[in-house]
A and B are shown apart, each in its own frame.
Chain A
Amino acid sequence: MTEKAKRNYTLKVWRQKDAHDAGRMAEYRAEGISPDASFLEMLDIVNEQLVRKGEDPIAFDSDCREGICGMCSCVIDGRAHGPGAATATCQLHMRAFEDGATIVVEPFRARAFPPVKDLVVDRSAFDRIIASGGFVSVNVGSAPDGNTHLVPHPVAEKAMDAAACIGCGACVAACPNASAMLFVAAKISQLSLLPQGQPERAARALNMLKRMEDEDFGNCSNHGECEAVCPKEIKLSNIARTNREFIRASVCSDE
Chain B
Amino acid sequence: MKLDSKIPSGPVQQKWDKHRFETKLVNPANKRKYEILVVGTGLAGSSAAAALAELGYHVKVFCIQDSPRRAHSIAAQGGINAAKNYPNDGDSIYRLFYDTVKGGDFRAREANVYRLAQVANNIIDQCVAQGVPFAREYGGTLANRSFGGAQVSRTFYARGQTGQQLLLGAYSSLMRQVGKGSVKMFPRREMLELVVVDGAARGIVCRNLVTGDVESYSGHAVLLCTGGYGQVFYLSTNAIASNCSAAWRAHKHGALFANPCYTQIHPTCIPVSGDYQSKLTLMSESLRNDGRVWVPKKKGDSRSPDTIPEEERDYFLERKYPSFGNLVPRDVASRNAKQMIDEGRGVGDTGLSVYLDFGDAIKRLGESVVREKYGNLFDMYHHITDENPYKVPMRIYPAVHYTMGGLWVDYNLMTTIPGLFCLGEANFSDHGANRLGASALMQGLADGYFIIPYTLGGYLASSKLPKIDLGHAQFKAMETAVAKRAQELLSIKGKRTPGDFHRALGHIMWDKVGMARNKKGLEEALREIPKLREEFWKDVNVTGAGRELNQTLERAGRVADFLELGELMARDALHREESCGGHLREEHQTPDGEAKRDDANFAYVAAWEHKGDDAAHALHKEPLAFEEVHLTQRSYA
Q: A140 near B126 (CB under 8 angstroms)?
A: yes
Q: Tell me the bound Cα distance from A63 to B75 in angstroms.
A: 10
* B131 touches which of A34, A40, A190 (Cβ 8 Å): A190
User: Contacts A18-B548, A63-B240 given: A150-B128 contact, CB under 8 Å?
Assistant: no
Interface size grouping (class) on chain A: 35 or more
Interface size grouping (class) on chain B: 35 or more
Q: Which chain B residues in 352-366 approach chain A with CB under 8 Å? A: none
Decide if A64 is an interface residue (CB 8 Å cutoff).
yes
Decide if A126 is an interface residue (CB 8 Å cutoff).
yes
Decide if A37 is an interface residue (CB 8 Å cutoff).
yes
Decide if B277 is an interface residue (CB 8 Å cutoff).
yes
- Nearest CB in chain A: distance from B428 CB, A: 24
Decide if B320 is an interface residue (CB 8 Å cutoff).
no
Q: B130 near A123 (CB under 8 angstroms)?
A: no
Most interface-central of B84, B450, B552 (chain A CB within 10 A): B552
B86 contact set on A, CB distance < 8 A: 147
Q: Tell me the bound Cα distance from A34 to B495 in angstroms.
A: 25
Q: A160 near B158 (CB under 8 angstroms)?
A: yes
Q: Name the CB-closest residue of B to A42.
A: B276
User: Contacts A68-B74, A93-B383, A93-B386 given: A56-B544 contact, CB under 8 Å?
Assistant: yes
User: Contacts A64-B75, A135-B172 given: A87-B383 contact, CB under 8 Å?
Assistant: yes
Q: Tell me the bound Cα distance from A88 to B544 in angstroms.
A: 29
* A194 touches which of B125, B131, B274, B450 (Cβ 8 Å): B131
A163 contact set on B, CB distance < 8 A: 132-133, 158, 165, 168
Decide if B22 is an interface residue (CB 8 Å cutoff).
no
16 contacts between A and B (CB under 8 A): A33-B276, A37-B274, A51-B499, A56-B543, A62-B240, A63-B239, A64-B74, A93-B383, A120-B549, A130-B69, A135-B176, A140-B50, A140-B54, A146-B127, A150-B139, A196-B129
- Nearest CB in chain A: distance from B182 CB, A: 11
User: What 15 new A-B contacts, CB under 8 Å, besides A36-B274, A65-B279, A68-B164?
Assistant: A36-B386, A41-B277, A42-B276, A48-B497, A57-B543, A66-B281, A69-B74, A70-B69, A124-B66, A131-B176, A138-B173, A140-B173, A143-B128, A153-B136, A167-B67
Q: A144 near B125 (CB under 8 angstroms)?
A: yes
Q: A64 near B130 (CB under 8 angstroms)?
A: no
- Nearest CB in chain A: distance from B41 CB, A: 11
Decide if A45 is an interface residue (CB 8 Å cutoff).
yes
Q: A147 near B450 (CB under 8 angstroms)?
A: no
Decide if B273 is an interface residue (CB 8 Å cutoff).
yes
B171 contact set on A, CB distance < 8 A: 130
Q: A66 near B66 (CB under 8 angstroms)?
A: no
B281 contact set on A, CB distance < 8 A: 65-66
Q: A196 near B274 (CB under 8 angstroms)?
A: no
- Nearest CB in chain B: distance from A170 CB, A: 15
Most interface-central of A56, A144, A191 (chain B CB within 10 A): A56
Task: Produce 1/0 per residue, B264-282, CB < 8 A to A.
Answer: 0000000001101111011
Q: A44 near B172 (CB under 8 angstroms)?
A: no
Residues of A within 8 A of B (CB): 1-2, 17-18, 33-34, 36-38, 40-42, 44-45, 48, 50-52, 54-57, 59, 61-71, 86-87, 91, 93, 95, 116-117, 120, 122-124, 126-127, 130-147, 149-153, 155-156, 159-160, 163-164, 166-167, 190-191, 194, 196-197
* A136 touches which of B72, B130, B156, B179 (Cβ 8 Å): B130
Decide if B541 is an interface residue (CB 8 Å cutoff).
yes
Q: B210 near A116 (CB under 8 angstroms)?
A: yes
User: Contacts A34-B276, A61-B66 given: A130-B133 contact, CB under 8 Å?
Assistant: no
Q: Which chain B residues in 96-139 approach chain A with CB under 8 Å? A: 122, 124-139
Q: B453 near A64 (CB under 8 angstroms)?
A: no
